[in-house]
Amino acid sequence: MPVILIISILAFLLLSLLPGDPAMIIAGEQASPAAIEQVRRQLGLDRSFLEQLGIWLFNLARGNFGSSLILNQSVLSAVGERLPVTLSLAALSIGFTIPVGVFLGSLAAYYRRTWIDSAVMTVALLGVSIPAFWIAILGVILFSVQLGWVPSSGFAPISQGLGGWFASMALPALTLSLFQIGFLARMTRSAMLDVLSQDYIRTARAKGLSEWRTVGKHALRNALILIITATGILLSAAIGGSVIIEQVFALPGIGRMVVQAIMARDYPLVQGTMLILGFTFVMINLIVDILYTLADPRVRHD
Amino acid sequence: MTDVGIGTRATAAAIAAPRGYGTLRRLLRHRSFLIGFTIIALLAILAVLAPLITPIDPSAMRVRLRFRPPQAAFWFGTDQFGRDVFTRVLYGARISLFVGFAVCVVSGLCSAVLGVIAAQLRRLDSAIMRLMDALMSFPAILLALGIAAALGPRVSSVIIALTVAYIPAGVRIVRAAALTVREMDFVQAAQVSGASSLRIVLRHILPNCLSPLLVHLTFIFAYAMLAEAALSFLGVGIQPPIASWGNIIAEGRDYATQAWWVMLFPGIAISLAALSLNLLGDALGDMLDPRLKGGE
């Protein structure tokens, strides 16, 4: 996989984007020359560029993604600790998104050019236009501060009871879903419109199949191919969005960690985390591609 | 990776769509185009004329006037330093629209160049596309976050970060369109009649890739603005005291329960701007790709 190698190099280059001397930036402006020298040696910045790249790639090959400067732990274990939070947020929001988005999109396509279509598409348009972090803050004011239905921030692990976990996750996941529902509904609608105008749908209707079987089985099934493609994008949007949403709800996930790492100039942690996420998405895209080939026999790899 | 799919067929139809005078006339009759265009044009005018519309300095602090709710003197109220929120939202529009537009233009240019190169010079194709695949493996906002953080908190770093994050999708679209156009009869005819490859690219291939790219860039404008707001909200984008919609919300957030107006209005402004651009993009897509008709 050349892509994996390119990602590794890109993540490595992230540090060299820093204007000026990375060691000085990381150690802080008031650091003594000795402290800067120590950071430099610790990060291997005193070696040549190619040597650094070689060491970086060699460490990666052994599963060593570097270690954090502030957390006193390796990047891999730091990410591992916070992964459940981010994953459950992403999973819950995708769990909301797929049924709702597909249903709304199909509804709009089936009732195209009626008020149902307009209403659904307006909602979808709002979903992709309203910033999630803003609606999240409004949600906290309404549901936590005013109504007191859910806690305004913090995370309750699933191991401490399903109810508490769901209460702490419901609002973040829902606000995260808005964009994705809008996106998926729009995508499903155009896929369904495409399918519904195909000859085999006319044939299905002509041979007397019920509307439910025609639309629910024939049409939706074909539209599903597109939806599989969309899940890769949805996952990416969910993880990307969680960076921001975790910040609003003070959820101890990967996104919050990355933002904190950036503020604390813990660049090795940023670098390592980006890399792990990059690898994860390469795997996800690979799985989506495979599913796509399985779902649509017309697609074959060269 | 599979290249077959959504992009190609849609762009083939877009390329076959009639262009020119008729399109413009149809656009002007398209409802979502009109709504979208009107809103974004209004916002742009307000942004440009901000100093004429409001005489107040956006960062002038008047502690005596802090947390005034919306009223005749302060349409959107005042914030924790007594700054006028209406003025700040207007000045924020300048930054937010500028960042969105800049990202749109720069990433559009880069996408056009890289996409056509990938389609024309087959030897560079896989190198370019693997690099794009690699960039696309990071969620766009995260990639932008990393780059913006490394480059330091400046307007230019936000623009660079978002441009890099949004180039890959554009390159894929241009490449797919260029690959389709290349096989069309009129390009082959130009080749046979002895036109140079540079002329073929500039006169035939590039112009025919522009409509799918234009539709895409309209959405990128919206995404870039939303992403800028998010980055500024997280504190790695536009830094106070320069007002941007994202950082006004971030500052207003701490006082959201007592002074809801500080964070409400910039949020509405972002939503309106993104909404209008999405409407525009939908309308352009509709017009340039008749296969996806059924909008309205």
Q: Is A293 left (phi over 0), alpha (psi -120 to 50) or beta?
A: alpha
Q: Please provide the average confidence, as pLDDT, over all residues in chain A.
A: 83
| Candidate from A84-98, B59-73, B212-226 with smallest mean pLDDT | B59-73
Position B277 scores a pLDDT of 94
Element (H, E) at B207: helix B206-234
Residue (of A61, A74, A57) closest to A12 by Cα position: A57
Q: Which residues of B touch A130 (CB under 8 A)?
A: 267, 270-271, 274
37-96 in A: which are within 8 Å (CB) of B? none
pLDDT surpasses 80 at A8: yes
Position B10 scores a pLDDT of 45
Q: To the nearest whole angstrom, how far is the Cα of B88 from the nearest Cα of chain A?
A: 17
Q: To the nearest whole angstrom, how far is the Cα of B293 from the nearest Cα of chain A?
A: 9
Position B22 scores a pLDDT of 67
Position B5 scores a pLDDT of 38
Residue A259's SS3 state is helix
Q: What angle do CA A123, B260, B85 make, to 5 degrees?
A: 100
Q: Exposed, middle or buried by CB within 10 Å (0-12, 13-18, 19+), for B24? A: exposed
Residues in chain B, how many? 296
Question: Is the confidence metric ipTM above 0.90 for this complex?
Answer: no
Position B197 scores a pLDDT of 81
- Choose from A22-36, A50-64, B6-20 the range with maximum mean pLDDT: A50-64
Please give the single-letter amino acid code of residue B235: G
The set of residues, in sequence order, having a beta carbon less than 8 Å from that of A31 and lying 6+ positions away, is A24, A39
Q: Determine the Cα–Cα distance for residues A26 and B175; give it in Å rounded to an integer.
A: 40
Q: Is B33 left (phi over 0), alpha (psi -120 to 50) or beta?
A: alpha
CB contact under 8 A, A17 and B142: no
Contact criterion met (CB below 8 Å) for B159 and B107: no
Pick the residue with more confidence: B173 or A11? B173
| Candidate from A228-237, B22-31, B165-174 with smallest mean pLDDT | B22-31
Predicted confidence (pLDDT) per residue in B263-280, tens digit: 899 999 999 999 999 999
Note the maximum CA span of chain B: 77
Mean pLDDT across B216-236: 92
Adjacent-strand bridge partners of B84 = B78
Q: Please provide the average confidence, as pLDDT, over all residues in chain B.
A: 83
Q: Determine the Cα–Cα distance for residues A101 and A181; give it in Å rounded to an integer.
A: 5
Q: To the nearest whole angstrom, how far is the Cα of B152 from the nearest Cα of chain A?
A: 8
Q: How many CB atoms lie within 10 A of CB B65?
A: 17
Q: What angle do CA A195, A198, A204 make, to 5 degrees?
A: 100
pLDDT surpasses 70 at A103: yes
Nearest to A131 among B140, B150, B226 (CB): B226
- Residue B140, chain A, CB below 8 Å: the answer is yes
Position B40 scores a pLDDT of 92
Place B1 in a pLDDT band, splitting at 50, 70 and 90: very low
Looking at B121-154, list the stretches that DSSP marks H as alpha helix, in order from N- to C-terminal side: 122-136, 140-151
Position B117 scores a pLDDT of 92
- The rounded percent of chain A whose pLDDT value lies above 70 is 96
Place A288 in a pLDDT band, splitting at 50, 70 and 90: confident
- pTM above the 0.80 mark? yes
Predicted confidence (pLDDT) per residue in A60-95, tens digit: 888 777 778 777 788 888 888 888 889 889 989 999
Residue A67's SS3 state is strand
Q: To the nearest whole angstrom, how far is the Cα of B233 from the nearest Cα of chain A?
A: 8
Contact criterion met (CB below 8 Å) for B125 and B179: no
Q: Which residues of B touch A190 (CB under 8 A)?
A: 292, 294
Q: Which two tokens stand for residue B219?
A: 């959405």
Nearest to A125 among B138, B267, B275 (CB): B275
Q: Determine the Cα–Cα distance for residues A132 and B276; give it in Å rounded to an integer.
A: 17
Q: How many CB atoms lie within 10 A of CB A261?
A: 24
Q: Which two tokens stand for residue B133?
A: 């695949």
The set of residues, in sequence order, having a beta carbon less than 8 Å from that of B27 and lying 6+ positions away, is B33, B283, B284, B287
- Residue A111, chain B, CB below 8 Å: the answer is no
CB contact under 8 A, A137 and B253: yes
Mean pLDDT across B98-118: 94
Q: Which two tokens stand for residue B105?
A: 């233009």
Q: To the nearest whole angstrom, how far is the Cα of A156 from the nearest Cα of chain B?
A: 23
59-88 in B: which are within 8 Å (CB) of A? none
**One-letter-per-residue 3-state SS of A174-231:** HHHHHHHHHHHHHHHHHHHHHHHCCHHHHHHHHCCCCHHHHHHHHHHHHHHHHHHHHH
Position A61 scores a pLDDT of 80
Mean pLDDT across A173-196: 89
208-227 in B: which are within 8 Å (CB) of A? 222, 226
- The rounded percent of chain A whose pLDDT value lies above 90 is 17
CB contact under 8 A, B256 and A137: yes
Place B58 in a pLDDT band, splitting at 50, 70 and 90: confident
Contact criterion met (CB below 8 Å) for A124 and A103: no
